[in-house]
Chain A
Amino acid sequence: GQNIDQPTEMTATEGAIVQINCTYQTSGFNGLFWYQQHAGEAPTFLSYNVLDGLEEKGRFSSFLSRSKGYSYLLLKELQMKDSASYLCAVSYDSGGYQKVTFGTGTKLQVIP
Chain B
Amino acid sequence: AQRVTQPEKLLSVFKGAPVELKCNYSYSGSPELFWYVQYSRQRLQLLLRHISRESIKGFTADLNKGETSFHLKKPFAQEEDSAMYYCALKYGNKLVFGAGTILRVKS
Q: State whether these chains interact.
A: no
> A residues within 8 Å of B by Cβ?
none
